[in-house]
Chain A
Amino acid sequence: MRESRWWILSLSAAALMVVLLTLHMGLMHLSGLMKVLGVDPGDVRSFAAVMERGRSLAQMVFYLLFLGAALYHGLYGLRSVLLEVTPPRGQGVLSGLVLAAGLLAFAYGAYVTVRTFTG
């Protein structure tokens, strides 16, 4: 695949992260600001609220998307840095290692999210 497609994907992941991170920060960490804006997310960090959110399909999809976008964007950047110090003959191995690391991390993150959803 042409390098530009990976690059466009990385930019798209960044744009998606802006949306998802805004929602995450607004709901989880900036409840005071949200109240000023007329939205009261409630006590989102209590045990009951966390467990209830974990069983929500929308939340599961949200976090899987967030996980995938953040992992792809971060690991593509890491690969770009490492490519600069890797000779062309080693770039296939490097890309493979980064892909494997990404898949492993996504599998672990997805397992936790899905496991929480299914109880």
Chain B
Amino acid sequence: MAERAHGAVETGIVTVTVRVSRFHPETDRSSGQQDYLVPAGPGMTVLDALVYIKEHLDGSLAYRSSCRMGICGSCGMFISGLPRLACQTQIRALGPVVTVEPLPNYPVVRDVVPDLEPMVTHHTAVRPFIVRGGEEQEYPTAEYLQTPVELDAYLQFAYCIKCGICLSACPTLATDPAFAGPQALAQVYRYSADSRDDGRRARLGAVDIAHGIWRCHLAGACTEACPKGVDPALAIQLLKRLIVADVLGIGRRRGPAPVAPPDMQAQRRPDIPAAPPATVPGGSGAQKNQP
């Protein structure tokens, strides 16, 4: 009997009140709220509810989404008091009334769509890519050698999807909009700890400023909020260690990983068919390796 009752709850439809923040920049001076009654089945996410509202109740609602599977980072919202990805948040777990607001610490474009420009600005300022000296930067010759241990040094920080949720959770950013923010700082560590990179000095200098890394309070809210399990607070602490070691001239610093030498001895096994000819003349190594 108890199992049957439990099953009825699992499969039944409950009505959830979704209280959405509404703001139109051309007609509103400040944001308001609007309630929608949404029939919520098992497994329904907040993003599903917003899709339902837009399709059946109010086509003027604006929100941002794309992949619906926690990869693109588009649907970051302030849901029932916490910044989260709408596509990963089960609506029935939040009670009968669910509030949906735009991410804090960002300007609002419309309704629950934040302007992520502050994050993008800081992110691009720290050169979030592998930097190599000389012509290798513009004309890379081959892949760079890296051991699994060297990969582990930065791997978890490479899982950042740039959703901007960590910045909305950051208490420092709430009072200091010029603060670099956990996303950019974590990416500074991610690339500076990458053994293939040769741009550490410039990157560290970009965040070793008055509104840079030293303004972090180590509240850890960024780590709590990250939907991908990245630990930006840890990255910031590790980055502080890197910077102090750099300033004091202590610690070992090896040069960037070497370019992998071409495998001249490799030969195609006879049971593997030959690669098709290159579409760009002289642009493929496949033909060179053909016996």
Check: B247 CB closer than 8 A to any chain A CB: yes
Q: How far is the CA of A7 from the CA of B214 in the complex (A)?
A: 8
Known: A4-B244, A5-B247, A83-B176. A88 touches B215 (CB 8 A): no
Question: Chain B at the A interface: mostly helix, strand, loop or mixed?
Answer: helix
Q: How far is the CA of A88 from the CA of B212 in the complex (A)?
A: 11
User: Given the complex of chains A and B, what is the CA–CA distance between A18 and B125 in angstroms?
Assistant: 39
**Least CB separation from B178: chain A residue:** A88
Q: Do the beta carbons of A83 and B211 come within 8 Å of each other? A: yes
CA distance A88 to B210 in the complex (A): 8
Interface presence of B9 (CB below 8 A): no
- Please state if A3 and B208 are interface contacts (CB–CB under 8 Å): yes
Would you call B175 an interface residue if the criterion is a C-beta within 8 Å of the partner chain's C-beta atoms?
A: yes
Provide the residues of chain B in CB contact with A87, threshold 8 Å: 178
Q: At the interface, yes or no: B243 with Cβ under 8 Å from chain A? A: yes
Question: How many inter-chain residue pairs (CB < 8 Å) link A and B?
Answer: 40
Q: With A8-B247, A80-B215, A84-B215 given, is the CB distance from A3 to B178 under 8 Å?
A: no
Let me know if B214 and A84 touch, CB within 8 A. no
Q: Are B244 and A3 in contact (CB under 8 A)?
A: no
Interface residues of A, count at CB 8 A: 14
Q: Mark B151-178, 1 if CB is under 8 A from A, else 0.
A: 0000000000000000000001001101
Tell me the nearest residue of chain B to A76, going by C-beta.
B214
What's the nearest-Cβ distance from chain A to residue B172, in Å? 7
Expressed in whole angstroms, the Cα–Cα distance for A88 and B179 within the complex equals: 10
- Please give the distance in Å from A48's CB to the nearest CB on chain B: 46
Q: A2-B247, A8-B244, A8-B248 are in contact. Are A85 and B176 (CB under 8 A)?
A: yes
A116: which B residues are within 8 A, CB to CB? Answer: none
Contacting residues of chain B (224-255) with chain A, CB-CB under 8 angstroms: 243-244, 247-248
| Neighbouring B residues of A88 by C-beta, 8 Å | 178, 210-211
List the A side residues contacting B208 at CB < 8 Å.
Answer: 2-4
A95 — which chain B residues lie within 8 A by C-beta?
210
Q: State in angstroms the CA–CA spacing of A87 and B179 once bound together.
A: 10
* Shortest 10 CB-CB contacts between residues of A and residues of B: A84-B176, A2-B208, A84-B175, A4-B247, A4-B208, A4-B243, A88-B178, A7-B214, A91-B210, A3-B214
**Interfacial residues, chain A to chain B (CB-CB below 8 A):** 2-5, 7-8, 80, 83-85, 87-88, 91, 95
